[in-house]
Structure 1
Amino acid sequence: MTTSAITTATTSAAPPSSAKPLISSDFDTFLKMLTAQMQNQDPLNPIDSTDYATQLATFSGVEQQARTNELLASLGGQMAVLGMSQLAGWVGQEARAEAPVWMDGDPVTMQLSPAIGADSAVLVVRDSSGALVSREDVPVEAGLYDWLGGDAAGDPLPDGAYSLSLESFSGETLLGEAPIESYARIIEARNGPAGAMLVLEGGIEVLSSKITALRVPEALDG
């Protein structure tokens, strides 16, 4: 299994030196309109000077808000870069989250959490199209469990992404079905529209905020 480098995208908060700031352009337009308004006012009914002051104050407020928004956008970009640098240490580790798993023959470690009162539990496996491919009895005790990736007949499943869920039973009564958290190696971290995104083995993506645990892979432990 390979590990990709972290992908980061940084953008400059300042506009190109050759481009005129939008707020300055708007202010020039405002001054031209104000001058035209003064030149074309009715001499018998001139505009009150307080109206000019009000217009200037209003534009000044808009200008300050625009500058504040620019600063906030710049700060947001800097915070995103900082978040990516903090995620640098995550690449290569195994993350636990509710996400599809990639089966390529290696066992997948998951966290079983049966419903309270359950006396049996069944692991439900569906392929990428949502078709049921396996139902497997698993321990009813909460804890880690290694799924070997077998189909209903016990034969190895083809390599691919699979969705896992856990059905909890009390006797013959289904208490509920819930997604399962599983471990997978992080191979990449990058920024996305919704925040920092982690790419797991098989190209499976999950938001960093959805990660509930991290661990060093057994092969690297010690």
Structure 2
Amino acid sequence: MTETTPISNASSSQNKPVASTASDPSALASDFETFLKMLTAQARNQDPLEPINSSEYAAQLAQFSMVEQQVRTNETLSELSALLGGPQMSQLSGWIGSEVRALAPAYFDGDPVRVSPPQNDQADSAILVVRNGSGDIVDRQSLPVSHRTAIWNGLDSNGLPMAAGQYSFSVEHYRGVDLLSEESAATYNRVSEAQLERDDVILILEGGQAILAPLVTAVRSGDPQPL
């Protein structure tokens, strides 16, 4: 006569792994397969003279059904996660290589920097002020007050390129000799990386500075622009 594994032992042995692996889809699927094999073997090898108690067998079937539903739920959630993550990653990749305009320092590596000066309708002259990463003023240039774009070539008084690094820009507006205002100027930077953190898209610019995507006021192709 074939020995029959007590129904209570099979039930208790399955309770533990199901509870401990519920958050792991692959482990949960493995438990599901094991549980099904044990249940089938137990029904096949039961003693005809001492059949399995119907209430305990029904309890095992109910547990089997719960594990099966959990596996299917995890599979569905995985599919939804993939569908939701795909478009987001596609949107992030669209930033890579483009140039964005924002109120942020520009990374200078020898190529001229495009600056978007703020406007002041009451001013009759303007000065572009350039500061290095330490905040020291390294250059001052006169600007026409109507200029929408200024080019900073990054050359010192000897005509040599300044050190590579991050430079910030501001514009002083004058009326006669009176200083009306000094405002930060936006610059263009190339995007080297885009990150998604919760609901925020964070852009990593050349030079390592990071800005939030909503701070971008213009986007253009990363191809070299005519000066």
Q: Are residues 1:129 and 2:134 paired?
A: yes
With over 3 angstroms needed to count, the CA separation of the structure-2 counterparts of 1:220 and 1:120, relative to structure 1, is closer
Q: Are residues 1:165 and 2:170 paired?
A: yes
The number of equivalent residue pairs is 153
> Within 5 A, what are the aligned runs for 1:19-98?
82-98=87-103
Q: Are residues 1:118 and 2:112 paired?
A: no
Structure 1: unaligned runs, 5 residues or longer: 1-13, 20-74
**Residue in 1 aligned with 2:213?**
208
Higher RCO structure, 1 or 2 (CA under 8 Å, sep 6+): 1
Q: Are residues 1:102 and 2:107 paired?
A: yes
With over 3 angstroms needed to count, the CA separation of the structure-2 counterparts of 1:175 and 1:183, relative to structure 1, is same
Q: Based on CA coordinates, which of the two structures has the bigger radius of gyration?
A: 2
Distance 2:128 2:109 in 1: 18
With over 3 angstroms needed to count, the CA separation of the structure-2 counterparts of 1:167 and 1:153, relative to structure 1, is farther
CA RMSD after TM alignment: 2.9
Structure 2: unaligned runs, 5 residues or longer: 1-21, 29-79
> Within 5 A, what are the aligned runs for 1:171-182?
171-182=176-187
**Residue in 1 aligned with 2:155?**
150
Q: Which of the two has greater helix per residue?
A: 2
- What secondary structure, in the 3-state scheme, does the structure 1 residue paired with 2:207 have? helix
**Residue in 1 aligned with 2:38?**
none
- What secondary structure, in the 3-state scheme, does the structure 1 residue paired with 2:155 have? coil
State TM-score, norm by structure 1.
0.60
Distance 1:177 1:147 in 2: 18
Distance 1:213 1:126 in 2: 23
Letter paired with 2:137: L
Distance 1:81 1:117 in 2: 50
CA contact (8 A) 2:154 2:161 kept: yes
Q: State the shift of 1:142 in Å.
A: 3.4
CA contact (8 A) 1:135 1:152 kept: no
CA contact (8 A) 1:112 1:141 kept: no
State TM-score, norm by structure 2.
0.58
